[in-house]
Amino acid sequence: MNFYVMTLFPEMIDQGLNNSIMGRAIDKGLIQLDAVNIRDYSNDLRHKKVDDYTYGGGAGMLMQAQPIYDCYKAIEKKIEESHSDKKKPRVVYVTPQGRVFNQQMARDFAKEEDLVFLCGHYEGVDERVLEEIVTDYVSIGDYVLTGGELPAMVMIDCISRLVKGVLNNDVSSETESFNDGLLEYPQYSRPEEWMGRKVPPILLSGNHKKVDEWRLEKAIERTKERRPDMYEEWIKLHPVKPPKKRRRKHHADENGDKNGNN
Ligand code: ADE
């Protein structure tokens, strides 16, 4: 999967994502990361200016349309040259004014071969270039950061771990928090006892069926306690079955009708 990030701070993207699992995925060629400096596309050759005052007044500067558009066109050309199909890439503008990113959106983006991110700065971006190139407006939450680089990195990290081969074992991307709408169950490693706290004995039993049941129970409990909003959604799709009624013989002195119905 190929990520292109349009930014004024490419070194932030390179340094932030070239470590650990992401770094390995890049080395293996599973992920390609290209942080492109918008400033390189400024028509102002002397000062490389990319921002200007806002029409109508107001505090702060706005990123201008031209450098962003030219930066995008260079990326588009690169993508066209590297594939035979002429499909335009999705272009994600990271902004607090977008839809809030979640695991389902990550799964959807992970299906793309190429993804382009636009990171804003200052007071925002000239609306006209957004109208021209952006396909998705995405936020990472209802709070405002100083720029789009951190949100873009958050999304790229999250999407990348869904790309086949990026995680060492594919099971961990399936059983993790948010899959199936539940938080993950608690986990334990050695030693069996630490600071007087013991690993739950069921996990040492070797009984996989019982372990799975225990984990599901804990995942439900944890979700109910920590994320009641998620629990409400989950329970709608997984109504708890009432315990089976035991069949009882009819006795004349029991409450109920003569057919044995209580
Ligand atoms: N830029 C600034 N704040 C942001 C946020 N919360 N999400 C995405 N982009 C942003």
Indicate if 71 and 127 belong to the same structural domain. yes
Which tens digit of pLDDT belongs to each residue from 75-84? 999 999 998 7
User: Is residue 256 included in any domain, yes or no?
Assistant: no
187: domain CATH number is 1.10.1270.20
Indicate if 144 and 101 belong to the same structural domain. yes
Separation between Cα atoms, residue 124 and residue 65, nearest integer Å: 11
Best of 95, 99, 143 for a ligand 1 pocket test (most atoms within 8 Å of beta carbon): 95
Which tens digit of pLDDT belongs to each residue from 88-127? 999 999 999 999 999 999 999 999 999 999 999 988 999 9
Tokens, residue 30? 């599973």
> Radius of gyration of the chain from Cα atoms?
26
Range of the domain at 232: 176-241
**Is the pLDDT reported for residue 15 higher than 50?**
yes
Kindly give the distance from the C-alpha atom of residue 151 to the centroid of ligand 1, in angstroms, as a whole number: 6
Indicate if 148 and 23 belong to the same structural domain. yes
Backbone angles phi, psi at 36, to 5 degrees: -105, 130
Indicate if 153 and 206 belong to the same structural domain. no
Protein residue with its CA nearest to atom 2 in ligand 1: 145
Separation between Cα atoms, residue 215 and residue 157, nearest integer Å: 27
Separation between Cα atoms, residue 48 and residue 38, nearest integer Å: 10
Count the domains in the chain.
2
Indicate if 58 and 181 belong to the same structural domain. no
| Res 253: pLDDT | 45
Which tens digit of pLDDT belongs to each residue from 179-199? 789 999 999 999 999 999 999
Domain boundary pick from 160, 192, 223: 160
Indicate if 87 and 143 belong to the same structural domain. yes
User: Is residue 251 included in any domain, yes or no?
Assistant: no
Which tens digit of pLDDT belongs to each residue from 223-242? 999 999 999 999 999 987 76
Indicate if 216 and 141 belong to the same structural domain. no
User: Is residue 155 included in any domain, yes or no?
Assistant: yes
User: Is residue 120 included in any domain, yes or no?
Assistant: yes
Count other Cβ atoms within 10 Å, centred on residue 194: 11
What is the pTM assigned to this prediction?
0.88
How far are the Cα atoms of 158, 162, 229 from residue 150, in angstroms, in the given order? Answer: 12, 19, 26
Backbone angles phi, psi at 83, to 5 degrees: -130, 160
Indicate if 148 and 35 belong to the same structural domain. yes
Indicate if 22 and 133 belong to the same structural domain. yes
User: Does 191 sit behind a cis peptide bond, omega within 30 degrees of 0 on the bond before it?
Assistant: yes
Indicate if 180 and 123 belong to the same structural domain. no
CB 142 near ligand 1, within 6 Å: no
| Res 240: pLDDT | 76
| Res 156: pLDDT | 98
Kindly give the distance from the C-alpha atom of residue 166 to the centroid of ligand 1, in angstroms, as a whole number: 26
| Res 83: pLDDT | 86
| Res 87: pLDDT | 86
| Res 124: pLDDT | 94
Kindly give the distance from the C-alpha atom of residue 226 to the centroid of ligand 1, in angstroms, as a whole number: 25
Kindly give the distance from the C-alpha atom of residue 136 to the centroid of ligand 1, in angstroms, as a whole number: 13
User: Is residue 171 included in any domain, yes or no?
Assistant: no
CB 148 near ligand 1, within 6 Å: yes
Domain boundary pick from 105, 133, 160: 160
Protein residue with its CA nearest to atom 5 in ligand 1: 96
Kindly give the distance from the C-alpha atom of residue 171 to the centroid of ligand 1, in angstroms, as a whole number: 31
**Is the pLDDT reported for residue 254 higher than 50?**
no
CB 151 near ligand 1, within 6 Å: yes
Arithmetic mean of pLDDT, 63-89:
93
Q: How would you classify the pairing of strands 197-198 and 193-194?
A: antiparallel
**Is the pLDDT reported for residue 252 higher than 70?**
no
Indicate if 139 and 11 belong to the same structural domain. yes
CB 143 near ligand 1, within 6 Å: yes
Separation between Cα atoms, residue 112 and residue 90, nearest integer Å: 8
User: Is residue 195 included in any domain, yes or no?
Assistant: yes
Contact 181, 236 (CB under 8 A): no
**Is the pLDDT reported for residue 36 higher than 90?**
yes
CB 150 near ligand 1, within 6 Å: no
Q: Which long-range contacts (CB under 8 A, 24 or more apart) does 68-72 make?
A: 68/6, 68/38, 68/41, 68/118, 68/125, 68/126, 68/129, 68/133, 69/129, 69/132, 69/133, 70/41, 71/6, 71/36, 71/37, 71/38, 71/40, 71/41, 72/6, 72/116, 72/118, 72/129, 72/133
CB 240 near ligand 1, within 6 Å: no
Best of 94, 118, 143 for a ligand 1 pocket test (most atoms within 8 Å of beta carbon): 94
Which tens digit of pLDDT belongs to each residue from 139-172? 999 999 999 999 999 999 999 999 999 998 765 6
User: Is residue 247 included in any domain, yes or no?
Assistant: no
107: domain CATH number is 3.40.1280.10
The pLDDT mean for the chain works out to 91
Best of 140, 149, 158 for a ligand 1 pocket test (most atoms within 8 Å of beta carbon): 140
Indicate if 196 and 133 belong to the same structural domain. no
User: Is residue 121 included in any domain, yes or no?
Assistant: yes
